[in-house]
Structures are given as structure tokens and as C-alpha cells.
Amino acid sequence: MRKKVTIVGAGNVGATTAHWLAAKELADIVLVDIVEGVPQGKALDLLQALPVEKSDVGVIGANDYDQTGGSDIAVITAGFPRKPGMSRDDLVRMNAEIVSEATRQVVQRSPNCILIIVTNPLDAMCEVARRVSGFPRERVLGMAGVLDSARFSTFVANELGVSVRNVHAFVLGGHGDQMVPLPRYSTVAGIPITELLEKGAIDRLVERTAKGGGEIVNLLKSGSAYYAPARSIAEMVDSILGDKHQILPCAAYLQGEYGIQHLFIGVPCQLGAVGLEKIIEIKLTADEQAALQKSAEAVEALVKTLPEEVSARQ
């Protein structure tokens, strides 16, 4: 039997994730959204593209979770974007409610699934999903690091005029301004970029990476990035369903690794059929460790703003 993936949220990120998964023939897909007709229409449109793609997977859309049973992976993308005038606490509260309900509905029907959280603020929403699901840390992961590393790789390749195939970027920490790119571990054909670029150029690329999502939002004027986030989700799904043991940067629940306890932080993760197989710990300089600790403190502050009803489900 083919694997099955549920995607909660049929907006740009969710629908484009379904597109990537179907094109790669990774799994049958259930696209769930509360807006009547939207998941059904997008699923039907995508399904009709698959004869051209020569892909035999099934794609269905639904406004409830009844058809999601037996999913191997559930990807949660549903949530509100932060809008002008909206406080960070408002965003946390609103999206915590959405992620809580989605997690509860999915887990009820697929108790053995692996959760991949995409909704922002990502690290805090991962904690919501962990508490509500009661899953072990191996089965709750957040997608951000793959995206941030892809953005860093893009900028490095463009700066040096080399193929992106030769670039391997390394990013730790939270998503957004609190990310911790590691130039020492970021390479071009195995050569650290610190040997190929001046510090000023590296700092500029690091800053652009940290603000990568905002740059796209400003250009679009309405909406946010979805091609790169969706492809990053597909990479995680591919490694899990294919039991490929890839090492990818993901938000994982730390239990002492990197000196951090009980928080979701972006770290190198080995992903296979069980979800998180292991967390790879690397040696950090004092400055890198301090930056990672600062990122963790920002995540901890967000987690403390979670609604009491979520905090009670530990």
C-alpha cells in the first residue's frame, strides 16, 4: 500500500506541498481546509495534472478529518499570518487554537502518525502539538531549518556564481531573526565559505537569510513565501517515508542537547521511518553557543505566552 499524508491547510503552502508530494509520487494525499470547496477544488485540479506527470497517487480534498485516518504523516500549515497591528501574543493565541484543534483531530484518527508543524510562530506551535498529541519527540518536528538553509545556499551560490548543487549551508536556532547560520560549517564543494568570502560578505548573506521571509512578503505586498517552504516540507516527508536517514535541519524537542532543555530548537536531525532518529551535536564556538542560547530564550518567551488551556495539556 502507498503511504498516506494529510496536509491541514489548503492555502498556498499546503496546496503547493501537495503538488510537490504528488509530483514526486511519494504518497496519497488528503488536503483539509475549513473553507468549503477550496480543498476539493485544488485536490481535483492537482489530480487532473497527474496523468501528465505520470504519477498514480490519489489526491482528495475535505472540510473535515474523516478521510485522514491511517495517515503516516500529518503536515499542519493552517494558521493566521501576522498582520499590521497584531501583537505577537495575539498571533500565538490564535494559532495555538488552530494547531491544537488540528492536532487533536489528526491524532484521533491517525494515532501512529508523525507530525510536521509549519504554522508560525513555529517553535511555539511545535510545543502546542507535542502537548496536545502526547507524542514522543521522535514524532513531532518543525519545518524551518530546511527552508532557512535553502535560502542561505541560494544567496551563497549567487554570490560566488557557482551551482547550488555544490553548496551545503548550515543553520541552527529558531526561525526568522533568531536563526543562527554557521558559516564555518557551510561549504562549497567541501570548502568552508569562510575560505571563499570576506567576513563582510558573509555577514550580509547571513542577514539576508534571517530576513528572507520578510523580503518576499515586502515584494509580494500580499501573502508570503510558499514555493520554497513547500519544497522544504517535501524533503522532510521524503526522508521519513523513504527511511532515507537524511540529516536535515529541523525544529526538534531538545532534552539537554546543546545545553538546552524542553524547547523546540532548530538542530541537525537524522530523519527516517520513525521520524527523528537522532540529533547531531556539533562543537560550537563561544559566540555560536551564545547566539543559540539567545535564540532559545526567544523561543522560551514565546512558549510562556501559550494559552493556559494548552499549557495544561502536558
Helix-then-strand count for the chain, H and E: 10, 14
175 is catalytic: yes
Which residue is catalytic, options 168, 175, 245, 262? Answer: 175
Contacts of 32 (CB under 8 A, 6+ apart): 6, 7, 8, 9, 10, 39, 61, 62, 63, 64, 65, 68
Residue 246 C-alpha cell reads as 537524511
Closest CA to 39 of 2, 69, 67, 80: 67
Closest CA to 79 of 115, 31, 120, 116: 120
Region of 166 (left: φ > 0; alpha: ψ -120 to 50; beta: rest) is alpha
Phi and psi, residue 217, nearest 5°: -60, -45
Beta bridge partners of 267: 250
Contacts of 260 (CB under 8 A, 6+ apart): 254, 292, 293, 296
Q: Which residue has the cell 553548496?
A: 167
Active site residues: 175
